[in-house]
Structure 1
Amino acid sequence: MDGTREQAAEQLRDTSTSDGLGRLTVGKGSEAREIAYIHRPSALGTGPTFVWLGGYRSDMNGTKALQMDRLAAEHGAAALRFDYSGHGQSGGNFSDGTISRWLEESIAVVDHLAPARIILVGSSMGGWIALRMLQELRTRGRGPEVAGLALIAPAPDFTCELIEPALTDLERRSLAERGYFEEISQYSAEPNIFTRALLEDGTRNRVLTGIIETGCPVHILQGMRDEDVPYQHALKLVEFLPADDVVLTLIRDGDHRLSRPRDLEKLQSVLVALRDHDHKIS
């Protein structure tokens, strides 16, 4: 998504409920969709805001997202969770989703809450969106400063790197004839749907094409028994982050979800370390 498209995102209406659930309309005309979010303000009034960026077909009430929120509450930090369009409590059709569309929504919600500094916590596809979001914020030269990246089983460029090379002849025909193909999901009774628009847009949003300058610490958690995003993909990502403070933690028996109690403890340690690092330099 280029800067002009991001600036064209129109925030038409924002409503909040007593349970902290807010709704923000992003886009205009036929592209308008209502994005659900929950914002926990900082009890201390200082420090970065943790921003959750979920994975493909996940939502803001998943185990890891709630763990991030609990940690923020314990430390008096601000936290922001939201659902992409077509996910969870947000409006819009899932089949309309692309990386550009979900990135636009991510930036719009952050712009609306306007934190000064943020720590992006991206899970799976959310790791890709986190990297693209950082690039967009740096390119436009305004908005919050990214103080750290926590990437959990990150899947940057997964459409190009993981899906397209493994397409069967039947899936290719389905893409050509119907504009999408279906895949059995390990996590839901409903199949995963991958559209031609998602794959084509993924090519335009690739990040594994050159040096990624984040300007902040990056910590990656990756399971070595991840069947969705092989740990070699995380190793490849590290190759594109040579100039930054990067830590890669490989969990030998970890799967893609990394939602076991011991996995959540590792995530908590990562988030605390990133926040403490920010306190030292700010």
Structure 2
Amino acid sequence: MDQPEKITVSGVEIAYRRRQGGEPGLMWLGGFRSDMLGTKAETLDEFAAERGFAYVRHDYSGHGESGGEFAEGTISRWLAESIAVFERCTSGRQILVGSSMGGWIALRMVQELNRGTPDDRIAGLVLLAPAPDFTSELHEPKLTDAQRGDLEAKGFYEEENDYSDEPYLFTRALFEDGLKNRVMTETLDTHCPVHILQGMADPDVPFAHAQKLVEFLPKDDVTLTLIKDGDHRLSRPQDLALLKRTVGAMASRVTNER
């Protein structure tokens, strides 16, 4: 595996990998505690190579090969890093592919960058088990008294991680900052097509959350694909095949609309 390239954002080195290619380019936005060498990110790299698309992926601070401490991460910080990678490491029209928390980051990027003008560079969104507003919508209502006590006294709490031996760490700063970045509070206008892939057997992000997100996208051309036996990771061979078909269809649509 080649060593990643790095850029500095707010004093922290952010690692990224870039594949040269044509438009539309693809940008991967990973989930909470995931990294750019995960199965879906690697599959998308192979797909980009096969189809000749440019492709960029990066690790948020405190994740993977990037610097910084995970405990210092917030949605605002990871959003700023993602925008920096987008602006410095991509060119031309891009399709953002966001998984779980990466779906939240993608929607916030659209809010910050897409204004419905001809020079907008975000041409489409593909969101996998998107988790916008997960701190306030999915986690805060389920906090136990012990977890609330830890947040107050220690500024964080830990939770068992089903995907790793290392527990999840949730900080008070993450929850407070999450409130500032909520997207499911008013109508969202992305000015681009959106395709959501959501497992109905997802234990982390209920499919009702994806259905609720669609309600906030009334102005956009939105497709919601529900995978009856799909889990949160959506990394089975059939899920990865669906991901490639979906991104391929989005890319063809973007190309034909030019």
- Interval of TM-score (by shorter of Structure 1 and Structure 2): over 0.9
Give 1:106's aligned residue: 82
Give runs of aligned pairs for residues 1-282 of structure 1, distance below 5 A. 19=2, 21-27=4-10, 32-42=11-21, 46-138=22-114, 145-282=121-258
Contact 1:219/1:247 (CA < 8 Å) preserved in 2?
A: yes
Q: What are the ranges of 5 or more consecutive residues in structure 1 without an aligned counterpart?
A: 1-17
- Kindly state the Cα deviation for residue 142 of structure 1 after the two structures are TM-superposed: 10
Contact 2:31/2:99 (CA < 8 Å) preserved in 1?
A: yes
Report % sequence identity. Answer: 59
CA 205–141 in structure 1, closer or farther in 2 if over 3 Å, else same: farther
1:120 alignment partner, SS class: strand
Distance 1:264 1:272 in 2: 12
Distance 2:209 2:116 in 1: 29
Q: What are the ranges of 5 or more consecutive residues in structure 2 without an aligned counterpart?
A: none
Structure 2 residue identity aligned to 1:168:
T
Distance 2:2 2:156 in 1: 37
Structure 2 residue identity aligned to 1:253:
D
Deviations 1:186-233 (A, max 9, x none): 011111000000000000000001111011110000000100000000
CA 60–142 in structure 1, closer or farther in 2 if over 3 Å, else same: farther
Distance 2:158 2:120 in 1: 38
1:47 alignment partner, SS class: strand
Deviations 1:31-88 (A, max 9, x none): x11000000010xxx4111000000000001011111111110011100010000000
Distance 1:47 1:20 in 2: 25
Contact 1:54/1:125 (CA < 8 Å) preserved in 2?
A: yes
1:39 alignment partner, SS class: strand
Q: TM-score, normalised by structure 1?
A: 0.89
- Kindly state the Cα deviation for residue 19 of structure 1 after the two structures are TM-superposed: 2.9
Contact 1:150/1:218 (CA < 8 Å) preserved in 2?
A: yes
Distance 1:232 1:60 in 2: 27
Q: TM-score, normalised by structure 2?
A: 0.97
Aligned Cα RMSD in Å? 1.6
Deviations 1:246-265 (A, max 9, x none): 11000000000000000001
Deviations 1:93-148 (A, max 9, x none): 00000000000000011111241211000000000000000111136989851111
Distance 2:142 2:112 in 1: 30
Distance 1:129 1:139 in 2: 17
